[in-house]
Structure 1
Amino acid sequence: MNGVDEGLASEAGYFVVGFDRDAEPQATIRVVGADGEASHVAQIAPGNFDIQRINGLANNQVNPSGAALLARIRAEAGRKAQGFASRADLDGFKSGFIPPLEKYRVSGRFGGQRVLNGEPRTPHYGADLAAPTGATVRAPASGLVAFAETGLHFEGGLTMIDHGQGLISVYLHQSRVDVRRGEMVTQGQVIGAVGKEGRATGPHLCWRMKWHGRNLDPTLMVGVKTPA
């Protein structure tokens, strides 16, 4: 693992650990409790990432300019940073995740190198799930809404859910956001609707996930539950 992260398990003893796209091939997980400590060396399998070329984007979505727009983007980035900084004392991840959409087509895999209007950019840290505008978006697991806004320049309608232990899932380009910051949601609860707002060429949900600032592939969490 690049660097060292420390944290407390939930009251029930649950915790989660995440590895990002470019993690080292080996990491040591160390658990310390009242009865002693234990460690485990995790082997991290390398990912298989593609190149995603997206054309037809408005220039201000690729190379934004102008004092007013740049100030707006900076302000939005500050508010999003506050959402990602949420650290709710929860373990909403313990029952596993379900997909946020009932029906969808994967139009972009996590980690692919992005080329926007012919310009190479940073990798895409999300899974793009194509679905019709207005399709219902549901919370894949329970948690606390850490961010909920519409009309953001790059993301359009954006929701973040804090599932506990620094694990935050993110939902971009929504045409409608049905929850508010500070609200508790349960698995399967409606949180919004698919759209094509912000930097998008068609209706889809960009599903992202972070753990202590590290970008994770959210699709890997589907069906995974904590040990009995």
Structure 2
Amino acid sequence: MRYFRLIFAFITIIVTSLPLAALASYVVESQALAQGGFIKGKFNGCVEVTVVDGDKKYVGKCTPQGNFLVGFGRDAQVVQKIIFSFADKQDYMAVVELEQRQYKTDRVNGVPQKTVSPPKEVLDRIKGENEQIWLARNKHTDSFDFLSEFIWPAKGRISGVYGSQRIFNGVPKRPHFGLDVAAPKGTPVVAPASGIIRLAHKDMFYSGGTIILDHGYGITSTFIHLSKLDVIEGQQVKQGEKIGEIGKSGRATGNHLDWRINWKNVRLDPAFWVKAGGNE
């Protein structure tokens, strides 16, 4: 395995021990080098890319042209290893240093108690819905839509941010992995990038009206708490096309869109994917 070290500090890149031929073919196109962030780039000849986060490994494919995207979770270790594999069995390993983030704590009161601590009779339903979500996010599609520049899926006030720890009715719950846009019921939700609808469910226990949009190569957008769905599973949609409407279905106390982005099962921060202020 060839080894090279990438130390990212803002936009400064220092590369050592990388053969010149490989260095010339390695290009970073966009990146957010922080927990919840990503690297989108191109490495000619790459067929597979693996992120090693401590004892966890996440594997993705490169496009035939060598385009790749890797992501880092909310609590990813500051030092990440990225291994690029090639058809000739040669590997290159990069070491990337991430910004460690501090997350806010949100206290949300008034949530129906049955959704904070769901009764036993709905546990099978929740398990089944989680399986549907997992399957939708783990379909491999040879679509290059993830390479496009994403747009905001809705207009409105930012009411919740990625990574925050939510405490419902005084009970600490899982961190929030989405970006919340508050707006009146019925406000249009559009596709931030083109893709295929992998899940269109009108009433999930936690997330209510839910859509999962596949942008290719493991990148998906999820839209939850919708009041209306305008798409069906298997449908191809274009960037900017209306797919649903904002609501407060599922576990929600007000009308808003909860937008999430995944690289397979790694949860990423949608705020890194769009231009600031585009929601206004």
* Correspondence for 2:33: none
Q: Which runs of 5+ in 1 are unaligned?
A: 224-228
Q: Tell me the amino acid that sits aligned with residue 5 of structure 1.
A: Y
Partner in structure 2 of residue 86 of structure 1: 139
Looking at structure 1, the residues matched to 134 and 232 of structure 2 have their Cα atoms a distance apart, in angstroms, of 17
1:57 to 104, 111, 122: 111
Q: How does 1:54-203 map to 2 (within 5 A)?
A: 54-67=108-121, 69-101=122-154, 103-203=155-255
What letter is aligned with 1:50?
K
Pairwise CA RMSD = 1.8
Aligned to 1:82, what secondary structure does the other structure show?
A: helix
Secondary structure in 1 matching 2:217: coil
Mark the CA change 1:43 to 1:73 in structure 2 (over 3 Å): closer, same or farther: same
Higher relative contact order (CA 8 A, sep 6+): 1
Output one character per residue of 1:74-121: Cα deviation in whole Å (capped at 9) or x when no partner. Answer: 2222222221222211121111111101x2111111000110011111
Matched, 1:42 2:96: yes
Partner of 1:14: 67
Aligned sequence identity (%):
39
Specify the alignment match of 2:81 in structure 1.
Answer: 28
Q: Is the 8 A contact 2:146 2:193 kept in 1?
A: yes
Query: Contact 1:176 / 1:193 at 8 angstroms: preserved in 2?
Result: yes
Match of residue 14 from structure 2: none
Once the two structures are superposed, what CA deviation does each residue of 1:37-77 show, in whole Å capped at 9, x if it has no partner? Answer: 5443222111121001000011111011142x223222222
The AA in structure 2 aligned to 1:92 is D
State how far apart, in whole Å, the 2-side matches of 1:199 and 1:5 are.
30
CA contact (8 A) 1:97 1:222 kept: yes
The SS at the match of 2:61 is coil
Which whole-Å deviations, capped at 9, do the CAs of 1:119-147 have from their partners, x for residues lacking one? 11111111111111101101111112111
Greater Cα offset, 140-149 or 72-81? 72-81
Q: Normalising to structure 2: TM-score of the pair? A: 0.75
Q: Which amino acid aligns with 1:100?
A: P
Corresponding residue of 1:226: none
SS at 1:141 equivalent: coil
Partners in 2 of 1:160 and 1:84 — Cα distance? 8
Distance 1:108 1:70 in 2: 27
Q: Report how far residue 217 of structure 1 moved.
A: 0.6
2:27 is aligned to none
Number of equivalences: 222
What amino acid is the match of 1:32?
A: S
The residue type equivalent to 1:124 in the other structure is H
Aligned counterpart for 2:260 among listed residues 161, 186, 208? 208
> For the residues of structure 2 that align with 1:38 and 1:72, how far apart are their CA atoms?
44
| Stretch of structure 1 that moved more, 149-158 or 197-206 | 149-158
